[in-house]
Structure 1
């Protein structure tokens, strides 16, 4: 019982470390991409290995990010309660976790098709390098979005083993969406980032202009979702989902208050998790029930 309890506690700590619940940002768009690529439900083999690859890559990248940022996390009062600053986990065991997850990602990619296997080292480089972009460019938010955009693009490759136009449009939607709410999240650390020489759009452009940039990115995101409505000849339920997503985005931008941690968590995370699920269910409903 003691061993089982210890294993459960450690697994729980790692789940918290990588914020496993935040998989809801990329997973819904990966599922949409799979369904569109397959022209319906993909095979169970593709679904299982594709999801394993997505989760493993995300877990490895998030864990590496925590190791890369551990010094800054200790200094920042907002993040000092995270696992590495509190010594709940140590860097060595987290790096082992990273290596294991990246190995699982490569193995799962190999189980999908040769293209996924060939691109897996490139994907690992991209998702790992994000952790260091804030040290030299305020475009780190867009780079984060670019990295997470690999989920729908990779999902398409997993099904077809081929390049196509649609997944890159869907990936751009994800990139702009993620970058927008990451900018919102970053407004909490404007003074800290400036004091440490860290780059971000809020610390570089200031609060007001940063929020306008976030709005602009989300506006273009919505335009691209509407473009997909026309390009893929989608139906009214998909369009309804986009309408609900727009309302949620407006609510998100209206409740931003960097000094209120609870509101910022709702704006940066909770509402966006709902947005991704609304788009997922409305898109799948549109595909299987309406069209």
Structure 2
């Protein structure tokens, strides 16, 4: 019984460490991209290895981020309670976990096709470099977005072995969407970032301008999603109904935060975007399958 409790606690700690509940942010884009690429003809093998590649990459990337940012997290009152700063986990065990996750990702890529295997080092590079970008550029939010966009582009490549406008537009939408809500989330660390030389769009342009930039990113993301719906023969009224719902959710998201009122940052940046992801996933999948 004691062993079971320890195992459960360790699994729970890793789930919190890698923010597993946030997987939906790019999973929705990856699955819809995969379905559009397959045009209704997907083998179990493709679906299985795409999911394995995505989950292992995303899990490893988030764990690595916690290792690289451990010292910064320890200084920031908001993040000082995370597992590594608290001493609940040590860097060595997390690094071993990261290596295992990335090895699984590369193996999964090899099971898909040659192009996925060849491009896997680029994905690994993006997942590694992102955590360092806040140390030297305020473009870190966009780097996170591009890293997330590897999911829909990679899913398309896994199915077709080629690239086209649809996955690129999907990647652009994913990039701007993630960067937009990451800016909102980063606004709460404005004072800490400025004081400690951490680069971010809020720290560089101020919270007010950063929130305007976030809004612009989300408007562009919606524009790309509209174009995707118009170009994709498999998407129609259900997809656009979901997109309409999400536009309303985007508006609510940005109404919840203001330069002098950041108490709803977590709801605006994470909770609402989880709902947006689910709506996007359900309506996109339904339109692809019906």
Cα separation, 1, equivalents of 2:169 and 2:112: 22
Q: Which residue of 2 aligns with 1:256?
A: 257
Distance 1:116 1:75, change over 3 A: same
- Would the aligned equivalents of 1:60 and 1:97 in 2 still touch at CA under 8 Å? yes
Q: Which residue of 1 aligns with 2:2?
A: 2
Aligned length: 289
Cα separation, 2, equivalents of 1:21 and 1:259: 29
Cα separation, 2, equivalents of 1:137 and 1:84: 25
Scaled by the length of structure 2, the TM-score of the pair is 0.96
Deviation string for 1:78-133 (max 9, x for gaps)? Answer: 11111111111011101011101001111111111111111111110111110000
Cα separation, 1, equivalents of 2:259 and 2:61: 26
Cα separation, 2, equivalents of 1:39 and 1:66: 38
Q: Which residue of 1 aligns with 2:289?
A: 288
Q: Equivalent residue of 1:84, what SS? A: helix
Q: Where in structure 1 are there 5+ consecutive unaligned residues?
A: none
Once the two structures are superposed, the pairs formed by residues 129-208 of structure 1 within 5 Å of their partners are 129-208=129-208
Distance 1:206 1:260, change over 3 A: closer
Deviates more, 1:173-182 or 1:44-53: 44-53
Once the two structures are superposed, the pairs formed by residues 33-48 of structure 1 within 5 Å of their partners are 33-48=33-48
Cα separation, 2, equivalents of 1:251 and 1:41: 37
Cα separation, 1, equivalents of 2:259 and 2:149: 26
Q: Which residue of 1 aligns with 2:29?
A: 29
Cα separation, 2, equivalents of 1:128 and 1:96: 15
Cα separation, 1, equivalents of 2:37 and 2:288: 12
Deviation string for 1:246-272 (max 9, x for gaps)? Answer: 000000001115787762111111110
- Would the aligned equivalents of 1:52 and 1:108 in 2 still touch at CA under 8 Å? yes
Deviates more, 1:236-245 or 1:181-190: 236-245
Cα displacement (A) at 1:288: 2.5
Give the CA RMSD over aligned residues: 1.4
Scaled by the length of structure 1, the TM-score of the pair is 0.96
Q: Where in structure 2 are there 5+ consecutive unaligned residues?
A: none
Q: Which residue of 1 aligns with 2:101?
A: 101
Cα separation, 2, equivalents of 1:111 and 1:187: 41
Cα separation, 1, equivalents of 2:126 and 2:115: 17
- Would the aligned equivalents of 1:115 and 1:161 in 2 still touch at CA under 8 Å? yes
Distance 1:41 1:265, change over 3 A: farther
Deviation string for 1:114-160 (max 9, x for gaps)? Answer: 11111111110111110000001000000100000000001111111
